[in-house]
Structure 1
Amino acid sequence: MATTTSSSTSTTPSPPTPATTTNPPTPPHLTVHTSTRAIISTRLTAATIIISSTTGKVTSVFHSVLPPTAFPPNTPYYDHSPHILLPGLVDAHVHLNEPGRTEWEGFETGTRAAAFGGVTTVIDMPLNAIPPTTTVAGLAEKVSAARGKCWVDVGFYGGVIPGNVGELKGLVEGGVRGFKGFLIESGVEEFPALSTPDIKAAMLELANTPTTLMFHAEMESSTTTPTPTPPGPPTTYTTFLTSRPPTLETTAIRTILSLAPLAPNLPLHIVHLSAATAIPLLRDARRAGVKITAETCFHYLSLAAEEVADGDTRHKCCPPIREGANREALWEELGRCSVDGGDEGVIRTVVSDHSPCTPELKVLPVGVPGRVETKDDGDDDDDDGDFFKAWGGISSVGLGLPILWTEIRRRQERGQGEGQGQGQTPLPPSLATPTAALESIVQWCCTNTAAQVGLSGQKGDLSVGHDGDICVFDDGAEWEVVPDTMLFRNKCSPYEGRRLRGMVVETWVRGQRVFKRGGEGGGFAGFEVDGRPVGRLLLEKRVR
């Protein structure tokens, strides 16, 4: 449990030389956080972290736990031992859907859910809001809708659609953190798919701009017959999975790589990579000098096609959740981009791709958690459980850290290759210890996600000059996902009912505590800062 102490001595002993420091302010303009375990610059250490209450920035870091007497009287002092201090997570792939579809999600609910899970920065995707963020005017509407509602810091992506190339540089000037386009229909008519000429035009327009061009990489091959709707009941997951084969991903990635020479300095990124068969393509391209990276998602690392029950459309997303063997291949690749596994992996980041909708759009059958009963139930249930008619998206913002920790600890505890179960294979050696795994999670979900969106030096680390964003993590806790622990608007998620390892107990944004788990009876103390959201909108123009 964290303890709060005010020092009472009238003299201040000289503390040890800090690992890094600027000139820290004097009380009451600083706050001290300590723990016997903290991850600083992706390494586990004891730490004392001093944050300016004026700027919200980290001003000093000591690689030891300093006592309250090391600071002037009345200095706010929080000892979080034995919990772990992590940098606040940066979830670089979230759909908040406001304005226009706030019945699906919204800035207030989505960012509360993020804070619950130690996420202190989210980057909002350009589609599923109305209007989409494909024009400067659309960005202005998005910003206006977000002001005063965000519990954590929020940045925005711009969208690339046919015909909007003339808007892209204006969106860069407006502060978007990158751009996303689809190579297959997105599911909403206001965000159509790109053709090859559209991709070329976007690459040329952004070629020498400080941004990242990202793609939903599924694409029908122009040289083959489109994938037909497979035979089989539409309520059976294997029927749906067959309709979205790995070749859709590899075809799209080959197309992107063939165009990459048009803009050799432009960072490219594949969002929500699902098919492990695409990894060799990306690896070869990176070795050839192409500036391309990929992300995968919590659901691709924790769920498997074999486990999806008939009609349980909570699991539908695109690209789809694939077989257990594919999941394990993604874990293997993650091990190549880890603190102790080198920097060769093509999957650099892990994100939520939180893409919610109303329960009605999931057409859930009776008996599946998350279904909302209506007065019309029973009149026409023919669509219930139809994977082809259900909205595609997984709701999980704020659950990602314990999902990853659960999957890692389960594999570690079952031993290297003994009794793995559920199609699980041993973790790569670089992830075999709890310390290495925690350090790597910070790399995937904090350091690298911040870099992807041009926020290195501000987000993703607890070192001097960074924002004082802290996730206080109880790595030994166990809990069950229930509606009360899903703070996003619609309580419809495949994780409901699952037991998870690891619990976020406090979240701090720029030195301000916004969430604390606890309270009477083990419940929630809730959200702080006088009940006011304190998140900022990250609208500064990218410089890298």
Structure 2
Amino acid sequence: MSFDLIVRGGQVVTPQGVRRLDIGITGGQIAALGEELGGARQELDAGGRHVFPGVVDAHVHLNEPGRTDWEGFETGTRALAAGGATSFVDMPLNSSPPVLTRARFEEKARLGEEKSRLDFGLWGGLTPLNLGELDDLAAAGVCGFKAFMSHSGLDEFPAADDLTLYEGMRAAARLGLVVATHAESDDFTRRLTEAARAQGKAGVRDYLETRPVVTELEAVGRALLFARDTGAALHLVHLSSGAAVALAFEAKAKGVDVSIETCPHYLHFTDEDVERVGAALKCAPPLRPKAVQDDLWRELLAGHVDIVGSDHSPAPPDMKTSSDFFALWGGISGAQSTLNVLLDGGHHRRGLPLELVAALSALNPAQRFRLPGKGRLEVGADADFALVDLNEEWTLTDLHDRWEQNPYRGQTFRGRVRSTYSRGRTVYEHGVVVDAIRGKLLRPSPRPASMP
């Protein structure tokens, strides 16, 4: 067999284990995996490198159209590619207007195909404003519906009250799509914030104390109850605590169709880092004390977390500059660092099996959101992969997203992405992003949204 490209002699990370294999690629897809494959127009020497499936980042905010000055497809996908990502699913906010209708979906899809370097899917919104639009959004090709159980930070994307969330889950179950929820209690966090503000509080620790772990647990429990009653597929985004993961995993064991996501910043930073770094580490739910982070790591190492997504959500510097911590935009720039954190294992270098790294970052999100051809290094899949030097210790200095207010700058990691390939094409190599490559829109394949 003659191939367009052979990736020669890399340590290939598959769900079954790590093996030294050649990868034969034809027409942008993997045509063969084996030893000593022969016959190709081009060869890529992967000796001394591990070949990981390209990261599938199912939680990013690239904000186009409307807030491209925060982040857009061009700059956001540069950062993703530099971090080993080959596809992503973009959230319905902070685009302006948000993706609440089919027309907004089609506008965003067009812009993505014009500007994105990587293949991409799109989330639709689930808010009190657009319950009647869910069928049209599903027909257009959304990968699922995103709802906030607390204030999103943008009035144009209001939180889903209990009835809206419940009815949205009923619709999603009928449509065969996932509902993703930002699980924090709106009443709890709002009233704690109002009390703090009434006392004139404005500091980092004041903010952290208005969003304790219990506000996450309460909302997670409510979302799980609705999912069990409606039969909906639920995706819990950015869980920040081991207790929340344990609660969701217990429900999964009892038959609730739920997938569990955390983010690299919860695995890498703690509340003490927020006090040290400031605005670049403000997010919601907030970063937690080390003991809570240790619990989260235990749950992840036990296999109870399904997906790690970056929740990349930058904003211009003027929105991240204030003496009033409550007034700052809450979002962390992290599109470039998901694989870095997983490979390094956090500050304490917990050893994650490479198969688990690949599952958390690629296989599971591709499976859960039914992204055709993504997430696996196997025959018939898209030739999406990253070449990684696991032995290199390095410090992150070169960032590729729009703004440089990034908490990972200056962090030292072990394991470095050297190049990234999307459908067999180089999109990133040795610090350089290839501008000419363009991605395509991914619509979910017609099968149940199950986990592997």
Name the TM tier (shorter chain): over 0.9
Give the SS at the match of 2:44.
strand
Q: Alpha-carbon deviation of 1:90?
A: 0.4
**Structure 2 residue identity aligned to 1:475:** L
2:218 match = 251
Match 1:237 to one of 204, 222, 235: 204
1:481 is aligned with what amino acid? L
SS at match of 2:175: coil
Q: Are the structure 2 counterparts of residues 278 and 461 from structure 1 closer, same or farther at C-alpha, using a change threshold of 3 Å?
A: same
Does the alignment pair 1:260 with 2:227? yes
Q: For residue 495 of structure 1, what is the amino acid of its counterpart?
A: Y
1:108–1:150 Cα contact (<8 Å) kept: yes
Could you say which residue in structure 2 is the equivalent of 1:48? Answer: 22
Alignment of 1:10-25 (within 5 A): none
Counterpart in 2 of 1:60?
32
Matched, 1:513 2:422: no
Q: 1:164 to 1:541 in 2, by over 3 A?
A: farther
Distance verdict in 2 for CA 1:541–1:164, change over 3 Å: farther
CA deviations 1:415-445 (Å, max 9, x no partner) are xxxxxxxxxxxx5xxxx4xxx5222110100
Partner secondary structure for residue 148 of structure 1: helix
Distance 1:499 1:139 in 2: 39
Match status 1:332 vs 2:298: yes
2:308 to 324, 347, 350: 350
In 2: Cα distance, 1:103 partner to 1:209 partner: 34
2:274 maps to 1:308: yes
* TM-score normalised by length of structure 1: 0.78
Show the 5 A alignment for 1:67-466: 71-72=38-39, 75-221=41-187, 228-230=194-196, 236-264=203-231, 266-309=232-275, 312-337=278-303, 345=304, 347-363=305-321, 384-407=322-345, 411-412=348-349, 427=350, 432=351, 437-455=353-371, 458-466=373-381
Greater relative contact order (Cα < 8 A, sep 6+): 2
CA contact (8 A) 1:92 1:449 kept: yes
C-alpha distance 34-191 of structure 1, shift in aligned 2 (>3 A):
same
Distance of 1:472 and 1:75 partners within structure 2: 20
Whether 1:34 aligns to 2:1 is no
Judge conservation of contact 1:172–1:541 (CA < 8 Å) in 2. no
Shift of 1:385: 3.6
Shift of 1:254: 1.8
Matched, 1:527 2:440: no
Aligned counterparts of 2:200 and 2:235: Cα–Cα separation in 1: 35
Deviation, structure 1 residue 540: 5.3
From the superposition, tell whether residues 71 and 281 of structure 1 become closer, same or farther in structure 2 (CA, over 3 Å): closer
Could you tell me which amino acid in structure 2 is paired with residue 43 of structure 1? G
How far the C-alpha of 1:192 sits from its partner, in A, is 0.2
- SS of corresponding position for 1:327: helix
Q: Which amino acid aligns with 1:501?
A: R
Rounded to whole Å, the distance in 2 between the matches of 1:187 and 1:228 is 15
Whole-angstrom CA distance in 1 between matches of 2:382 and 2:230? 33
CA deviation map 1:218-238 (0-9, x unaligned): 01458x965544388856322
1:230 is paired with a residue whose SS is helix
Report the secondary structure of 2:115's partner residue: coil
DSSP 3-state at the match of 2:120 = strand
- Is 1:478 the counterpart of 2:393? The answer is yes
- AA partner of residue 281 (structure 1): L
Q: Once the two structures are superposed, what CA deviation does each residue of 1:256-299 show, in whole Å capped at 9, x if it has no partner?
A: 122223322x2101100013222332132112211112100000
Quick one: structure 1 residues 259 and 474, their matched pair in 2 at CA, closer, same or farther if it must change by over 3 Å?
same
Distance 1:359 1:225 in 2: 28
Distance 1:253 1:290 in 2: 13
Worse-matched range after superposition: 197-206 or 29-38 = 29-38
Which of residues 487, 498, 520 in structure 1 aligns to 2:411?
498
Q: Deviations over 1:142-164 (max 9, x none)?
A: 11222221111111001101031
C-alpha change, 1:287 and 1:539, in structure 2 (3 Å) is: closer
- Greater per-residue helix proportion: 2
Counting matched residue pairs gives: 447
Aligned equivalents of 2:297 and 2:326: distance in 1? 28
- Measure the CA separation in 2 of the matches of 1:360 and 1:32: 47
Say which SS state the counterpart of residue 325 (structure 2) adopts. Answer: coil
What letter matches 2:420 in structure 1? T
CA shift digits 1:347-382 (9 cap, x unpaired): 21111000010011001xxxxxxxxxxxxxxxxxxx
Q: Is the 8 A contact 2:203 2:326 kept in 1?
A: no
Q: Who is 1:15 aligned against?
A: none
Contact 1:84/1:474 (8 A) holds in 2? yes
Secondary structure of residue in 2 paired with 1:269: strand
Which amino acid counterpart does residue 359 of structure 2 have in structure 1?
A: Q
* CA deviation vs aligned residue, 1:192-234 (integer Å, no higher than 9, x gap): 0011110121112122222111100001458x96554438885
1:539 to 431, 443, 448: 443
Q: Distance in 2 between matches of 1:228 and 1:112?
A: 39
TM-score by structure 2 length? Answer: 0.94
Deviates more, 1:202-211 or 1:83-92: 202-211
1:6-44 deviation digits (Å, cap 9, x = unpaired): xxxxxxxxxxxxxxxxxx5x3xx5210122411123511
| Unaligned 5+ runs, structure 1 | 1-23, 338-344, 364-383, 413-426, 518-523
Which has the higher Rg, Structure 1 or Structure 2?
1
C-alpha RMSD over aligned residues: 2.1
Percent of aligned pairs with the same residue? 35
Q: What amino acid does structure 1 have at the position aligned with 2:375? A: G
Letter of the structure 1 residue corresponding to residue 75 of structure 2: T
